[in-house]
Amino acid sequence: MRKGTSLAAICLILAISTASQTSRQHFNLGMSIDEFATKFDLARANTREAPFVDAAARSAMRGKRSIIQTNRAGTKMAFLFDKYTLREVEITAGNTFDHELQALTEPLGEPSVSKINLAVWDRSDGTRFTLTSRQGTGVLLVAPTPLRGK
């Protein structure tokens, strides 16, 4: 069964911000924990995971390496902060790897690396999208493109 929401839709809505999206919940790698907490309205979160989100956010606000995990409408997201800054995001929407590969290839083009259960896209803005399979489910990691040694 395919879910209606794919990682492609999520990553395009969340990772690619425009001026018109400032009021929406979106993230940008490199954003501060304070900006993230404001955009995602962490102070007003009223869910079962709220105490854990609050503890992780407080830790990130002290500059510690922290992961803020959310689960909204079946989409699981893990935001990794280090030294007050969003470093990477892992997104799982519950769809198969093949479904996510097809959905991501449309907006991002052909992956620069494509193997069984692994696809990588490096964007010119320095963002790397890595799609892997975890027990048949597509998992997308959004992180900076690693620097290449000379």
Cβ(94)–Cβ(1) below 8 Å: no
| The two structure tokens encoding residue 62 | 């002290």
Q: 2: closest CA among 69, 74, 60? A: 74
CB neighbour list of residue 140: distance below 8 Å, 6 or more residues apart? 7, 10, 11, 90, 91, 92, 100, 104, 129, 130, 131
Q: How do the pLDDT tens digits run along the chain, 150 residues long? A: 445 555 554 554 444 433 333 344 678 899 999 999 888 877 666 677 788 888 999 999 999 999 999 888 888 999 999 999 999 999 998 899 999 999 999 899 999 999 999 999 999 889 999 999 999 899 999 999 887 654
CA-based torsion, 25, 26, 28, 29: positive or negative: positive
- Phi/psi class of residue 109: alpha, beta or left (left: φ > 0; alpha: ψ in -120 to 50)? left
Predicted pLDDT at 101: 93
Longest CA span, the chain: 49
Tokens representing residue 115 in the block: 């193997």
Q: How far apart are CA 22 and CA 70, in angstroms?
A: 20
CA distance 113 to 110: 9
**What's residue 71's pLDDT?**
85
